[in-house]
Amino acid sequence: MRKLFLLFLLSPFVALQAATASVEPQATDDSLKIYNRVLTTREMKEDLLLFRDIREKANSGLYRYRTKKQVDSIYKVAFREIRKPLTTTEYFKVILRLTDFEGSCHNYTEVGKDLMDFYNRQRGYFPYDLKYIQGNIIFNHQTTEIPAGSRVLSINGVPDTTLMQSFYKYFTADGFNTTQKWTGSVHRSFNYRYMIEYGVKDNFTVTFNPPYSKEVKTITLPAVTLTTRKENLTHRYSAAVDSLIDYNVQPKYSFRMVDNATGLLSFRIFSMADGADDPRFPGYVRFIDSVFQTLDKNAVPNLILDIRSNPGGSDPTFEQPMMYLTDHPFKENISAYANFDRDTIPYMQYFWGVSTDSKWGPEEVKAGRAFLKSYLLPYKNGKSYQDSAHNPVYHPKQPAYKGHLYLMIDENTASAASHLASLVRAYARNVTIVGVETVGGYYCHNGHAGVVYELPHSKIKTKFSIMYVVQDAPVKPMQPEGRGIMPDHEVWQSYEDYMNRKDSQMEHVLRLIREKKQ
């Protein structure tokens, strides 16, 4: 049963990759007008009313960061925007802003499959990778037209800052966090999102400054197919450094000694087991124990725990290393609930499943209902609380790690991974946190049980998690409300390190360790 619900716990980053699955271009007479149809005001109003009511009845975190007055206000603006007919993509942007406003990194919204497939077939993709470095858009390929490290000033006449800001709504975050919006607006936007935002283009006119130069140059690049773009991305300038924290490239978990005094324990994604009853779980637990046995036997004074760009996964995987890092018992949460009756899922006629990829059939729905019945207590006083059997107390394990822990996080650390970072901040001994504020929250999140609904007229699919989770996270002065886990040392990739293909954050941690020895 746990396996069915792994996608509940994963960050939307995994779903985003599925949305851009390669579809070979084909000779076709199809037109954007066929799939990006104009919606009537009646259709949009009915979908919007349904969208709001689904959120009210099934989304327990709707008012976590926004008051009812604030939510009412943004919906009032949305209803004004649909007083005239809009294309599906224009209406989609209205829904995106509402989704983003809620403040949950588990929220995800997608246009219908036919429209997405149309974009995947087009020769309309920006051909190369772009990277966010120190607030700028940096060209991330070495080409004859544009050298790597060039600062992009505009694309098709739209200035860099305007481009970035236009994509913020596509990247949801817990609370009021913006770090992933900044990088996502560059790294992950010049694909189908660009076509949704600016239309399908045959060419891209790029204005840029070459590296270390104020000279302004302009070049026009022809658009390419999705297949060509993906091939190009494998040759991006920063590929060697990027791959170090890419769960598609690296093993899910690994350990090695950097030197005699420093160990490196890395978790790229917490999908090494779907739960404690998964046959893979005991082997994973033995691996974690062997790591801490090695650290203890050799009295290793420094341990780097790297969870950068980890999108999350399933418990109890992320709790396992934490038990060796603390003297304090801990729980996954101190409270978790859905705001509807576990036996009466709201708006089942519009329910799609747990992933936008495929719609659930009757057997899957039956299994899902059984899961909720086992996972939640009977409805009482407006809430269905999580059964305490799914929220055990985790106790410290031996051999306890007594050295200095360096936790590495970034803006793409989400869901179960940011939850681990929250526990480390709360209870770990001798810890220094390095990197960038996580997209997942410190105090709470909406997670665990993701559901997807499809709006009947626009065919827009919207995903959110039904469980409001108050994490086992005591108040800390360095942890403001509505933010991710804050690093002790904020370290972004620097331009110089990018040009020299260095990992700025790892370099910083190793420098801290060297300085401590002196």
User: pLDDT tens, 469-479?
Assistant: 999 999 999 99
Residue 37 is classified by DSSP as P
- Read off the pLDDT of each residue in 418-426 and give the average, rounded to a whole number: 98
CB neighbours of residue 222 within 10 Å: 10
What local confidence, expressed as pLDDT, does residue 442 receive? 97
The verdict on residue 3 lying in a domain is: no
Provide the pLDDT confidence category of residue 22 given band limits of 50, 70 and 90: very low
What local confidence, expressed as pLDDT, does residue 30 receive? 57
User: Which domain range does residue 257 map to?
Assistant: 253-517
Residue 253 reports pLDDT greater than 70: yes
Provide the pLDDT confidence category of residue 265 given band limits of 50, 70 and 90: very high
Q: Are residues 48 and 144 in the same domain?
A: no
C-beta of residue 314 within 8 angstroms of C-beta of residue 416: yes
Give one DSSP letter per residue of 420-435, joined into a string. HHHHHHHHBSSEEEEE
State whether residue 118 is helix, strand or coil.
helix
Q: Are residues 439 and 300 in the same domain?
A: yes
Q: Are residues 125 and 61 in the same domain?
A: no
pLDDT per position as a tens digit, 67-101: 999 999 999 999 999 999 999 999 999 999 999 99
Provide the pLDDT confidence category of residue 58 given band limits of 50, 70 and 90: very high
Q: Are residues 276 and 221 in the same domain?
A: no
Provide the pLDDT confidence category of residue 160 given band limits of 50, 70 and 90: very high
Provide the pLDDT confidence category of residue 517 given band limits of 50, 70 and 90: low
C-beta of residue 226 within 8 angstroms of C-beta of residue 24: no
Round to whole Å and give the CA distance between 65 and 216: 43
Residue 16 reports pLDDT greater than 60: no
Q: Of the given ranges (19-28, 281-290, 415-424), which has the lowest mean pLDDT?
A: 19-28
Give Cα 63 distance to the centre of its chain. 21
Q: The tokens of 239 are what? A: 């590929």
Residues 6+ apart with CB under 8 A from 483: 175, 176, 177, 437, 441, 442
- Read off the pLDDT of each residue in 105-117 and give the average, rounded to a whole number: 94
Mean pLDDT of the chain: 93
- Read off the pLDDT of each residue in 180-205 and give the average, rounded to a whole number: 97
The verdict on residue 114 lying in a domain is: no
**What is the share, in percent, of the chain residues with pLDDT greater than 70?**
94
Q: The tokens of 82 are what? A: 């649909």
Give one DSSP letter per residue of 55-96, joined into a string. HHHH-TTTTSSS-HHHHHHHHHHHHHHTSS-EEHHHHHHHHH
Residue 518 reports pLDDT greater than 90: no
Nearest to 314 by CA among 447, 199, 211, 220: 447
Provide the pLDDT confidence category of residue 451 given band limits of 50, 70 and 90: very high
Q: Are residues 55 and 81 in the same domain?
A: yes
Residue 467 reports pLDDT greater than 60: yes
Q: Are residues 271 and 205 in the same domain?
A: no
Round to whole Å and give the CA distance between 296 and 294: 5
C-beta of residue 307 within 8 angstroms of C-beta of residue 254: no
CB neighbours of residue 66 within 10 Å: 16
Residue 18 reports pLDDT greater than 80: no
The one-letter amino acid code at 446 reads: N
Residue 178 reports pLDDT greater than 50: yes
Q: Are residues 354 and 450 in the same domain?
A: yes
C-beta of residue 325 within 8 angstroms of C-beta of residue 424: yes
Residue 393 reports pLDDT greater than 60: yes
Provide the pLDDT confidence category of residue 26 given band limits of 50, 70 and 90: very low
What local confidence, expressed as pLDDT, does residue 3 receive? 38
Round to whole Å and give the CA distance between 272 and 270: 6
Residue 19 reports pLDDT greater than 80: no
Round to whole Å and give the CA distance between 464 and 106: 6
The verdict on residue 28 lying in a domain is: no
Considering its fold, how many domains does the chain have in total? 3
> In terms of residues, how long is the chain?
518
What local confidence, expressed as pLDDT, does residue 32 receive? 79
Residue 17 reports pLDDT greater than 70: no
Using the 3D structure, point to which of 102, 128, 146 is the last residue of a domain.
102
Q: The tokens of 51 are what? A: 């969208």
Q: The tokens of 413 are what? A: 């650390």
CA atoms within 13 A on the CB side of 317: 30
Residue 326 reports pLDDT greater than 80: yes
Q: Are residues 215 and 350 in the same domain?
A: no
Provide the pLDDT confidence category of residue 418 given band limits of 50, 70 and 90: very high
**What is the share, in percent, of the chain residues with pLDDT greater than 90?**
90
Residue 388 reports pLDDT greater than 50: yes
The verdict on residue 110 lying in a domain is: no
Using the 3D structure, point to which of 76, 102, 128 is the last residue of a domain.
102
What local confidence, expressed as pLDDT, does residue 25 receive? 43
Q: Are residues 331 and 427 in the same domain?
A: yes
What CATH number should be reported for the domain holding residue 163? 2.30.42.10
The verdict on residue 513 lying in a domain is: yes
Provide the pLDDT confidence category of residue 152 given band limits of 50, 70 and 90: very high
Using the 3D structure, point to which of 178, 203, 237 is the last residue of a domain.
237
The verdict on residue 9 lying in a domain is: no
Give one DSSP letter per residue of 158-207, joined into a string. EEHHHHHHHTGGGS--STT--HHHHHHHHHTTTTHHHHHHH---SEEEEE
State whether residue 508 is helix, strand or coil.
helix
What local confidence, expressed as pLDDT, does residue 9 receive? 41
Residue 416 reports pLDDT greater than 90: yes
Q: Are residues 233 and 259 in the same domain?
A: no
Round to whole Å and give the CA distance between 52 and 63: 12
Query: What DSSP element (H or E) covers 284?
Result: helix 281-297
The verdict on residue 13 lying in a domain is: no
C-beta of residue 336 within 8 angstroms of C-beta of residue 448: yes
Residue 331 reports pLDDT greater than 80: yes
Round to whole Å and give the CA distance between 162 and 137: 11
The verdict on residue 51 lying in a domain is: yes
